[in-house]
Chains A and B, each alone.
Chain A
């Protein structure tokens, strides 16, 4: 069965650089979520999209932005990177909109290291 695809899997950047993380949801899934997991921490919700519109926002820094495209893939753009942005970034998708609950399927994550 198809799973959530994230790219790249690993990314190394310098402070103040920018990074773009990509997420390809499971086919026919219309909702995408982004989570950030720092070292030794539990995943924290960043932002979500339903039918290409932002549906919810968590503790996402103003330096970060995201969008969902017409083919439902999503990109998380991170600018002015800081050392504290080093984390594992997960994308998840689900087949339902925000009105109904359903299983969220997580991608393998992108490990971002900021030097």
Chain B
């Protein structure tokens, strides 16, 4: 099956710093989503981005499908950005739509 690898596994930032999280996947994908899991366990959908670039406030994401990677940019980080960031992919069409998650990047933003 498809492999999803995220880097770095952990990241500690000072408030106000910028960061880039990476997601590599081993095969072509039909869907790619970025999630933020907050300390209470809720999975917040950040982007649906199988290709191209999107921006939402301080967050932006880019997926280069031909090179099988996606990047999540966080600018001017805030303590509320802390949590685990997951990349998840759906492989190919008619695969049932299930998402395969990466292991996540745990982000801690210090005041």
| Cβ contact within 8 Å between B41 and A31 | no
**Closest residue of chain B to A34, judged by CB?**
B98
**A98-B96, A109-B42 are known contacts. Are A43 and B33 too (CB-CB below 8 A)?**
no
| Cβ contact within 8 Å between B90 and A101 | yes
| Cβ contact within 8 Å between B97 and A88 | no
| Cβ contact within 8 Å between A106 and B48 | no
| Cβ contact within 8 Å between B35 and A106 | yes
Within 8 A of B (CB), among A63-115: 88, 90, 92, 94, 96, 98-99, 101-106, 108-109, 111
| Cβ contact within 8 Å between A42 and B102 | yes
| Cβ contact within 8 Å between B100 and A45 | yes
Within 8 A of A (CB), among B53-107: 86, 88, 90, 93-104
Which B residues touch A98, using CB under 8 A?
94-97
| Cβ contact within 8 Å between A104 and B86 | no
**Closest residue of chain A to B90, judged by CB?**
A101
| Cβ contact within 8 Å between A42 and B103 | yes
CA–CA, A88 and B38, complex, Å: 13
Query: How many residues in A have their beta carbons less than 8 Å from beta carbons of B?
Result: 28
| Cβ contact within 8 Å between B30 and A43 | no
Which A residues touch B94, using CB under 8 A?
98-99
| Cβ contact within 8 Å between B48 and A103 | yes
**A109-B41, A109-B42 are known contacts. Are A42 and B96 too (CB-CB below 8 A)?**
no
Q: Which of B43, B48, B95 contacts A90 (CB 8 A)?
A: B43
Which A residues touch B42, using CB under 8 A?
106, 108-109
CA–CA, A33 and B35, complex, Å: 16
Which B residues touch A108, using CB under 8 A?
41-42
CA–CA, A99 and B48, complex, Å: 17
| Cβ contact within 8 Å between A33 and B98 | yes
| Cβ contact within 8 Å between B97 and A105 | no
Ranked 3 nearest A-B pairs via Cβ = A56-B96, A42-B101, A103-B48
